[in-house]
Amino acid sequence: MIELAPEISFGYENVGSVYFSKSKFKEAIAYAEKALTITPNADLYDNIGEAYFYMQRYAESVPMFEKAVAMNPNSEENTGNLANAYRWNGQKEKSLAAFDKAIALAYKELQVNPRNASVMGHLAGYYAEKGDRAQSIEWISRARSIDPNDVDLLYQAAIVHALANRPEDALKDLREAFQKGYSTELARRDPDFGSLQHRPEFADLLAEFSATKK
């Protein structure tokens, strides 16, 4: 598609998404940046921010997420990503303020569709990352009661349980997510699993499912 229509951003954007799914973040950024030169949009900035985030280059992820939020200020997901980037970049006050905004936007979306399991999962993550264990567990439970097989919700449940100091539950959720095809490399790089990094069960789980993809 890029060869036939190089003036259209869609091809570059999708190649970047494929590279991201394969955890080839530098390549993903290069294609997203090319797409930005053609059609700037919030999703592309958010994608670049996520790539920098998983490369643990948090200071570089922050301005990308800020641009995404500036272009789409009503996106709870973009705002939540920015909050998490602030969090890991050591900007605590900005992080808490952005999490509060993301939570408010998520509640607003739930007023439109009270059974939006994806938004509930995001909400659980925001509460978990703010340190509100009770709310995070309540919302991930509600989300999974609506859509128990969704792989993104399984992964979000693993984050919630890891941050709530429930390692056994987190590992169980991760196993289910990997069985459904979630990226082991993203989990390996996710700073929210810091409490699991030194557990042999976590390393064994990553090794088991990384091997199945070869």
Q: How far apart are the first and last CA of the chain?
A: 28
Q: Residues 125, 214: one domain?
A: yes
Return the pLDDT at 67.
98
Mean pLDDT of 95-115: 98
Q: Residues 119, 214: one domain?
A: yes
**CB-based contact 54:23 (threshold 8 Å):** yes
Is 83 within a domain? yes
End-of-domain residue from the set 103, 132, 160? 103
Q: How many CB atoms lie within 10 A of CB 145?
A: 10
Is 1 within a domain? no
Distances (CA, A) of 150 to 67, 87, 140, 181, 183: 29, 27, 12, 11, 14
Q: Residues 125, 206: one domain?
A: yes
Q: How many CB atoms lie within 10 A of CB 33?
A: 15
Is 108 within a domain? no
pLDDT reading at 212 higher than 80:
no
**175-209 residue pLDDT tens:** 999 999 999 999 999 999 999 999 999 999 999 99
Question: Which CATH number goes with the domain that contains 57?
Answer: 1.25.40.10
Mean pLDDT of 141-151: 97
Return the pLDDT at 177.
97
Is 3 within a domain? no
Is 119 within a domain? yes
Is 17 within a domain? yes
Helix axes 167-179, 200-212, angle to 10 degrees: 0
Q: Residues 193, 155: one domain?
A: yes
Is 2 within a domain? no
Domain that holds residue 136: 113-214
Mean pLDDT of 88-103: 98
How far is residue 104's CA from residue 24's CA, in Å, rounded to a whole number? 33
pLDDT-based confidence at residue 88 (cuts at 50, 70, 90) = very high
For the chain, give the mean pLDDT.
Answer: 96
For the chain, what percent of residues have pLDDT higher than 70? 99
Q: Residues 128, 202: one domain?
A: yes
Q: Residues 67, 164: one domain?
A: no
Q: Residues 89, 119: one domain?
A: no
pLDDT reading at 108 higher than 90:
yes
Q: Residues 192, 134: one domain?
A: yes
Mean pLDDT of 65-80: 98
Q: Residues 180, 153: one domain?
A: yes
**Best CA proximity match to 10, nearest among 48, 47, 51, 39:** 39
pLDDT-based confidence at residue 211 (cuts at 50, 70, 90) = confident
- The number of distinct structural domains making up the chain is 2
**8-19 residue pLDDT tens:** 999 999 999 999
Return the pLDDT at 213.
59
Q: Residues 120, 208: one domain?
A: yes
**Best CA proximity match to 118, nearest among 166, 161, 75:** 75
Q: How many CB atoms lie within 10 A of CB 147?
A: 16
